[in-house]
Amino acid sequence: MGRFDEDRRFVEERVRQVAGWEAGNVVAEPAIPVLASPSWRGVDGSPWRVREGSGGDSLFAKLMDPDAAFYIDVGCAFEAARRASDLGIGPKVLLADVETGLLVMEDLDKGWSTGTLERLLDADLIDRIAAARKRFQDGPPLPRSAGVFEEIDRFHADAKAAGAQLPADAAWLVEEIGFAAEAIGNVAGQPVPVHGDGNVSNIMISDEGDVRLLDWDRAGNADPLEDLGSLLVEAYDEEPEARDAFTRLNGGFEEKAYNRAWLYGVADDLRWGLIGTLVAARSPRTTFEFHKFASWRFVRCRMAVQSPRFGEALRRL
């Protein structure tokens, strides 16, 4: 029996126990296409849709992949998913088994769709996403505290040690982002619990416009503007629109705070570039385009660092 069948049988049995369904009447199927590019979707753990019989009720299960262990604290991620469930800003969690890496949730299937960049053009939707993230920030500290700059240093060192295929200017990018780390270190906000990942595929939208946040794998305690920066860098290709959103979400425009959020977004691109590069170097799942995703995040980071805007933001913190 291969790993796929082993995982499926394990998921079927655990979900059956959680849901109280009859033995022999549970079917698990891959829930969504796993994509590392253009969107990091379903990569951190295998996603399953588990049904009671052929047309019965369904639940969503996520079984964490060993490939993700170097950048995900499963205990913290599952704790964050439970909090989001309790707050009504994430899917309802029925089981969060840290030991086996299994998360079982309500299935946001019919009447729900995955976020897209086109959907993020809707200012009202951005407001609802930001409001959900803000509600999470009001809670008690999470078990993990690791800001973007610390992770960049760690992932870069790990990538070099692993002989990963880094771009020729990777060390230069890390050095430049180090200047941002030094500058922001003097003005960073008090850490709060954050979602930590602006990836658009981590957002589910109902037909009525309700929002649920998924994949709390990058959750931890950080500057709230780091959380906002990761969302803005994903949602807006152009800075005027990002400034408009920042102004709306913060009740006004404050240049120093905006520059901090912008720099966090640039750093987030570098962090994800390094994560993608490391997974590409280490993972036996060679059919996924990990390196392609990493290359895109490196390109965005490089464009920002090379622009006059980068130096301006550093000077005006």
pLDDT in tens, 17-57: 999 998 888 999 998 888 777 778 888 999 999 999 877 78
The number of CA neighbours under 13 Å toward the Cβ of 141 is 9
| Domain ranges, ordered by start, for the chain | 3-110, 140-199+217-315
pLDDT, residue 253, reads 96
User: Domain 3-110 maps to which CATH number in 3.10.20.30, 3.20.20.220, 3.10.580.10, 3.30.200.20?
Assistant: 3.30.200.20
The pair of three-digit structure tokens given for residue 96, joined into one six-digit string: 């969060």
> Which residues does residue 106 pair with via DSSP β-bridges, in sequence order?
59
What does the H/E/C string look like for the chain? CCHHHHHHHHHHHHHHHHHCCCCCCEEEEECCCCECCCCCECCCEEEEEEEECCCCCEEEEEEECHHHCCCCCHHHHHHHHHHHHHHCCCCCEEEEECCCCEEEEECCCCCEEECCCCHHHCHHHHHHHHHHHHHHHCCCCCCCECCHHHHHHHHHHHHHHCCCCCCCCHHHHHHHHHHHHHHHHCCCCCCEEECCCCCHHHEEEECCCCEEECCCCCCEEECHHHHHHHHHHHHCCCHHHHHHHHHHHHCCCCHHHHHHHHHHHHHHHHHHHHHHHHHHHHCCCCCCCHHHHHHHHHHHHHHHHHCHHHHHHHHCC
> pTM for the whole thing?
0.94
At 213 the pLDDT is 97
In 3D, which of 25, 82, 87 has the Cα closest to residue 56? 25
Mind listing the pLDDT tens digit for each residue in 214-264? Answer: 999 999 999 999 999 999 999 998 899 999 999 999 999 999 999 999 999
- 167-192 tens-digit pLDDT: 999 999 999 999 999 999 989 999 99
At 23 the pLDDT is 87
- Phi, psi values for residue 56, rounded to 5°: -90, -165
Q: Is the pLDDT of residue 1 over 70?
A: no
CATH number of 140-199+217-315: 3.90.1200.10
The region of weakest confidence among 36-40, 65-69, 137-141, 204-208 is 36-40
Per-residue pLDDT tens digits for 101-134: 999 999 998 899 999 999 999 999 999 999 999 9
Question: What pLDDT does residue 4 have?
Answer: 87
- Whether the pLDDT of residue 80 is over 80: the answer is yes
Read off the pLDDT of residues 266-280 as tens digits, 9 standing for 90 and up: 999 999 999 999 999
pLDDT at 98 over 90: yes
Please write the tens of the pLDDT for every residue from 138-163: 999 999 998 899 999 999 999 999 99
Mean pLDDT, the chain, whole residue set:
94
pLDDT at position 111 is 93
